[in-house]
Structures are given as structure tokens and as C-alpha cells.
């Protein structure tokens, strides 16, 4: 209201330059009869402006600023989740235990160090400079819809997954070449029945890679809950991810495994190489595969093929057990 009143010389904090409202006896033109009509006009104009300013219709600029602020609030909330997710990723990354503990202790302080309201103000200012009222309205309408809300909520996870896949794709090709080299080295170095078994597997009618794509679950735990349980997921691009847990109740040990890498299929010989252990590849001889069952044996160079246990994976999802209280990971 200050701006509007200043334009009409109604800012009572400074002298009004409209000298026509001042009565000077020496000037006949400023008689009371001349002043009264002018005063009436000024008063009416003031009341009109006052009524407009105090009515339910807010100034357009105010509506525009509020709209930009609402859009900025929705967007910045997504940015806040990005920062928190990035912080958590750093803490959970492969870092020395002492460093992880220091990060965990300062995680709350780090997250609270951002003045998100101030960030919203900065973002709103940029939106005001780049979008007009109609565009801001359309953006706000979309972000406020169910689809727009889902779009914003999924951005952090989507962005992290895509960027991770981009980074891994740059590493996968060299690792695939390394895997093929590892297979050749093992086959060339093998002798006797082992060498024949591996060569026969490679020369077997090829299994379609599509049959191995998807998530396979392994449950190798006994009735007491000892043993291994996990899953591995393969894609047509050649990427391979795995996660599992190993429990020994007698020694109260609980080990958790997670890794990513690549897979290469030659005939019925499957080779898997993880990024953390690129020097060696795990060789697997596939017995059979259907839409929901995969039978195979791990190649154990120090054991006879007849001693290799048969493993059966399925597409039926299983729940991995949590770490029991008081159990330790021997690798930590």
C-alpha cells in the first residue's frame, strides 16, 4: 500500500508537494471555495485506492510472488531429499570404518546446516525472472497434481539410479573383456576331466540370454536358519547385481554381501565378475533353466566335478533375515 499511496501524494511521513492544498491569503486563487472541491476529489481518490487495496483481490505482483514461492517450495523439497540421499550414500559407501562413524555422527548437523527457506527464496526469485504468470500457474498445477507429486517424489531415486547406470556402463565393457580373458585362462590351465567339462559346456547349444534375465532368489539355509540366502539380478546389457546374507548361529556370525558386476554366457558356461574382485571370475555350469527355475553348479577348481553341489534358484521372492542382536560380522 505504501507504493500506491506514494503515487497519490498520500505518504503522511513527508510533506505533500501539492501546494494547492495550502491556503495563502496573499493569493486569491487559493480561497476556501477553491480548496474544498480539490480536497473532495483527493479524499475520494484516497478512499477508492484504500478500498481497492483492502479488498479481497490482492495485487497481481503479490499473487505472482506467492505462486513462484509455492513452486519453489515443491522443487526445493526434492532438492532437500537429494542432499539427504547423497549424504546417506556417502556414509554407506566403501569407506574406512572410522571415517563412516565420523560421518554418521555429523550427519544430522550437516543436514540441518542448510537454510532451506532461504534456498526457496532464491529459487522463487529465479522463477520470477524466467517464467510469466501463466507459465508459473501451469508449473504449479502440474506439481500439485497426483502425477506431478509422484514425479517430484521419484526424482531423487530416478536420478541416482540413472547416474549410477551411466557410471557403471563405462566400467562394464572393460570388465566384460576381462571376464572373457579370465575364462580363457581357466580353461587353458585346466586338465583332465575338468578341462573336458568346461570345453563341453562352452560348446553346448547356447542358452538364450533372455532366459537368465531377471531376479533369481537363492535359499540355502537349513531348518535352524544357518547358511546363505540372497538374490542376483541380471539384465540384457550384461550387468549383474547381487545381495545376500550368511548366518552361523553357533558362532553368532552374520555376514552381508552386496556387489555389482557383469555376466558373460558361452554355451552353458556362465561367468560372473564383480567390480570389487575383477581379478577372478566365478564360473558356473548351467544344468537347466525354465521361466521360474534355474539349476546350476559352481565350478570349484579344487574339487572333483562330482562333488560340486547342485543349486536351484527360483523367481519366487524371499525375505532376507535381519542381523540378530548380539551377532557380529567377522569382516568388520
> What is the number of structural domains in the chain?
3
Average pLDDT of the segment spanning 314-327: 94
Could you tell me if residue 173 is inside a domain?
A: no
Instruction: Write the pLDDT tens digit of every residue in 116-126.
Output: 788 888 888 98
- 86 and 197 housed in the same domain: no
- 294 and 213 housed in the same domain: yes
Could you tell me if residue 305 is inside a domain?
A: yes
Q: 124, 144, 164: which is the final residue of a domain?
A: 144
Q: Higher-confidence residue: 194 or 13?
A: 194
Could you tell me if residue 240 is inside a domain?
A: yes
Lowest-pLDDT choice from 147-156, 289-298, 321-330: 147-156
- 188 and 307 housed in the same domain: yes
- 50 and 64 housed in the same domain: no
What's the pLDDT score for residue 53? 41
What are the beta bridge partners of residue 241?
233, 260
Could you tell me if residue 34 is inside a domain?
A: yes
Helix axes 60-92, 97-112, angle to 10 degrees: 170
- 42 and 68 housed in the same domain: no
Nearest to 261 by CA among 194, 183, 176: 176
- 185 and 309 housed in the same domain: yes
- 197 and 295 housed in the same domain: yes
- 224 and 286 housed in the same domain: yes
Q: Is the pLDDT of residue 159 over 80?
A: no
- 21 and 64 housed in the same domain: no
pTM over 0.75? The answer is no
| Secondary structure, 3-state, 209-255 | HHHHCEEEEEEEECCCCCEEEEEEEECCCCEEEEEEEEEECCCCEEE
- 34 and 67 housed in the same domain: no
- 191 and 286 housed in the same domain: yes
- 71 and 129 housed in the same domain: yes
Could you tell me if residue 287 is inside a domain?
A: yes
Could you tell me if residue 258 is inside a domain?
A: yes
| Secondary structure, 3-state, 44-96 | HHHHHHHHHHHCCCCCHHHHHHHHHHHHHHHHHHHHHHHHHHHHHHHHHCCCC
What's the pLDDT score for residue 22? 40
Q: Provide the CA 270 distance to its chain's centre, in angstroms.
A: 32
Host domain of residue 91: 60-144
Residue with cell 570349484: 300
Amino acid at each position: 500500500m505504501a507504493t500506491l499511496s506514494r503515487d497519490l501524494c498520500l505518504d503522511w511521513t513527508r510533506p505533500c508537494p501539492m501546494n494547492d492544498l495550502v491556503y495563502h491569503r496573499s493569493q486569491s486563487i487559493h480561497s476556501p471555495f477553491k480548496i474544498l472541491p480539490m480536497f473532495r476529489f483527493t479524499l475520494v481518490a484516497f478512499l477508492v485506492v484504500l478500498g481497492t487495496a483492502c479488498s479481497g483481490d490482492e495485487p497481481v505482483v503479490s499473487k505472482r510472488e506467492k505462486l513462484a514461492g509455492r513452486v519453489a517450495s515443491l522443487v526445493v523439497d526434492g532438492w532437500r531429499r537429494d542432499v539427504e540421499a547423497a549424504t546417506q550414500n556417502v556414509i554407506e559407501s566403501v569407506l574406512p570404518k572410522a571415517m563412516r562413524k565420523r560421518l554418521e555422527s555429523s550427519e544430522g548437523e550437516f543436514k540441518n546446516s542448510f537454510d532451506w527457506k532461504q534456498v526457496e527464496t532464491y529459487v522463487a526469485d529465479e522463477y520470477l525472472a524466467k517464467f510469466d504468470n501463466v507459465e508459473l500457474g501451469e508449473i504449479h498445477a502440474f506439481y500439485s497434481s497426483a502425477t506431478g507429486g509422484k514425479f517430484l517424489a521419484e526424482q531423487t531415486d530416478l536420478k541416482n539410479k540413472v547416474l549410477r547406470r551411466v557410471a557403471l556402463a563405462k566400467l562394464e565393457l572393460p570388465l566384460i573383456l576381462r571376464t572373457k580373458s579370465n575364462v580363457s585362462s581357466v580353461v587353458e590351465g585346466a586338465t583332465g576331466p575338468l578341462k573336458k567339462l568346461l570345453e563341453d559346456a562352452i560348446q553346448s547349444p547356447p542358452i538364450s540370454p533372455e532366459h537368465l534375465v531377471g531376479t533369481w532368489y537363492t535359499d540355502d539355509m537349513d531348518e535352524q536358519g544357518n547358511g546363505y540366502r540372497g538374490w542376483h539380478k541380471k539384465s540384457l546389457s550384461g550387468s549383474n547385481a547381487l545381495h545376500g546374507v550368511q548366518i552361523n548361529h553357533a558362532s553368532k556370525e552374520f555376514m552381508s554381501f552386496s556387489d555389482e558386476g557383469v555376466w558373460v554366457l558361452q554355451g552353458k558356461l556362465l561367468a560372473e565378475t564383480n567390480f570389487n574382485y575383477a581379478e577372478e571370475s566365478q564360473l558356473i555350469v548351467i544344468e537347466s533353466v525354465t521361466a521360474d527355475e534355474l539349476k546350476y553348479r559352481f565350478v570349484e577348481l579344487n574339487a572333483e566335478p562330482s562333488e560340486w553341489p547342485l543349486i536351484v534358484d527360483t523367481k519366487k521372492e524371499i525375505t532376507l533375515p535381519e542381523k540378530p542382536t548380539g551377532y557380529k560380522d567377522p569382516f568388520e
